Structure 1
Amino acid sequence: MTHQPAEFTEALAAVLRDLRAQCPVQPHVREEDDYPGVMLFAPDGSGQGVYAEGDERRPAVLLAEVADQVQGWAVEALWAAGVSAVWPGCPEHPDTHPLTATVEKGAAVWVCPWSGAVACGVGELPSGG
């Protein structure tokens, strides 16, 4: 990623770490000349754009926005692959619903949407969950 704002590039790298840690479907990431962000392509060839404006004063908001967009891509790619379309999975409620990216206390975190419990920071999902 060469022409993306540094804040966006760092946020995307963190979320892609989470994908590598816990998602069986991995994207092919590509920059497009006519799109300000990046395109994520699934194995079936479908693609989705990911972009958020960099904001040095609110990096956690940018990170949560990127995580939300990548999560949308992952759910669609998992469904298309015929596997459970839950990513990232909630450790409190396995195989029921995904975690939600949000900002709490100035940090981007994955939380359970049912209990509000913080699972971990965005970019810090443990492997294999």
Structure 2
Amino acid sequence: MMRAHLASAMTLLLHDLKKTGAPVPLVEESDWQDYPGAESAMLRSSDFTGMGVWIDTGASEAAQIAMLADQVQEWVVELAEPRVTNWPQCPEHPKNHPMAAVANGNTATWVCPKSKRQVSEIGQLAPPA
């Protein structure tokens, strides 16, 4: 069973992947990251290509979620099948760039990296329009 901090953050990211129709990884518990206070796992693609992800449990909850969101976003863009190069899609600039994960105080949010406008809390993305 995945450790509590990582499991909680991963649940939010899996929600966003599913709601937006993005590929969803197989998540395997793994202690590959031995940094003190780290919780880690492996994300696997349909072809079983893997990528390690981790969070620092010493960081705030919002920072943990944003940290994991950056890594899941990298998995989607680099390893997921089918390949998705723009996840999560920025509603302001859908053909230009994906949104960025940011910790804003106690909340982790998806924001437009250009305008800095908050689009959604991580874990609350809606299906594309």
Using structure 2 for the length normalisation, give the TM-score.
0.85
In structure 2, stretches of 5+ residues that fail to align are 34-38
Moved more, 108-117 or 97-106: 97-106
Contact 1:23 1:87 in 2 (8 A): no
Q: Which residue of the partner structure matches residue 27 of structure 1?
A: 25
Matched, 1:45 2:12: no
C-alpha RMSD over aligned residues: 2.0
* Structure showing the higher strand proportion among its residues: 2
| Match 2:6 to one of 5, 8, 23 | 8
Identity %: 35
Letter in 2 for 1:50: V
Cα distance, 1:106 vs structure 2: 2.6
Give the 3-state SS of the residue equivalent to 1:62 in structure 2: helix
Cα distance, 1:84 vs structure 2: 4.1
Q: Work out the CA distance in 1 between the residues paired with 2:110 and 2:49.
A: 26
Q: Work out the CA distance in 2 between the residues paired with 1:3 and 1:42.
A: 18
Contact 1:27 1:41 in 2 (8 A): yes
Cα distance, 1:99 vs structure 2: 0.2
Using structure 1 for the length normalisation, give the TM-score.
0.85
Q: Which residue of the partner structure matches residue 77 of structure 2?
A: 75
Size of the alignment, in residue pairs?
A: 124
Letter in 1 for 2:17: L
Contact 1:86 1:97 in 2 (8 A): yes
